[in-house]
Amino acid sequence: MTSPLPSFSAASVLDLAPVVPVLVVEDAAEAVPLARALVAGGLPAIEVTLRTPAALDAIREISGSVPEAVVGAGTVITPEQVTACGEAGARFLVSPGWTDALLTAMRASGMPFLPGVSTTSEVVALLERGVREMKFFPAQAAGGTAYLRSLAGPLPQARFCPTGGIGPDNAPEYLSLPNVGCVGGSWMVPADAVAARDWQRIEELARTASRLRTAGGTCR
């Protein structure tokens, strides 16, 4: 078995792989083989969104059975969820947006966290609070690569994980930007493959995604 990954900071969450799979897990029994397929394909950082009743159990299963994965919780929107995710074994937190109360809870948890932003003012407000690693969401709807490129000049200290409307066709353009550490997406876990428990197909899609940063010479 592969050794567990070492401890990491919020910045290194962005640097573990070019793509963070964003999972909506309906059945916790699928969590472990799904995580193993993603890790085998070269995507160790896995975000399980809190959109289903099975989410916390899925985080718990991955944390306990796939130590080489860095499992995080996504769609975290309340301080209570921060606590529950930590108890389930999450190693990082991702939110679609943020408030001062949520930010305080995430900081107090001791886990790396990526609060969501979609405007320049939100980015500046987080920088003012000492946060430099953020989720840009919803990426395509909020301005896409053009918006992020425009932020790199005045706010070079901010780094992003764009999520929302990103797939294999536009991910390389995002990854070529100096202020993008990784992107989030779910195209490597198609619903039909999960339903068929076709873990080999998911592993192959993950492997392709893990190479996107250098695909076609367009990425860093």
Of 129, 205, 143, the closest CA to residue 177 belongs to: 143
CA distances from 182 to 17, 21, 61, 80 (A): 7, 11, 25, 27
Please identify which of the residues 47, 133, 173, 203 carries the catalytic annotation. 47
Of 126, 115, 125, 181, the closest CA to residue 148 belongs to: 181
> Is there a catalytic annotation at residue 30?
no
HSE-CB for 136 with a 13 A CA cutoff: 31
Q: What is the torsional sign of CA 100, 102, 108, 113?
A: negative
> Is there a catalytic annotation at residue 61?
no
- Report the alpha-carbon distance of residue 19 to residue 161 in Å, rounded: 9
Please identify which of the residues 61, 133, 135, 203 carries the catalytic annotation. 135
142 Cβ contact partners less than 8 Å away, ≥ 6 residues apart:
118, 119, 136, 164
Amino acid at 164: G
With 0-12 / 13-18 / 19 or more C-beta atoms within 10 angstroms meaning exposed / middle / buried, residue 166 is: buried
Q: What are phi and psi of 46, to 5 degrees?
A: -130, 125
- Catalytic residue set: 47, 135
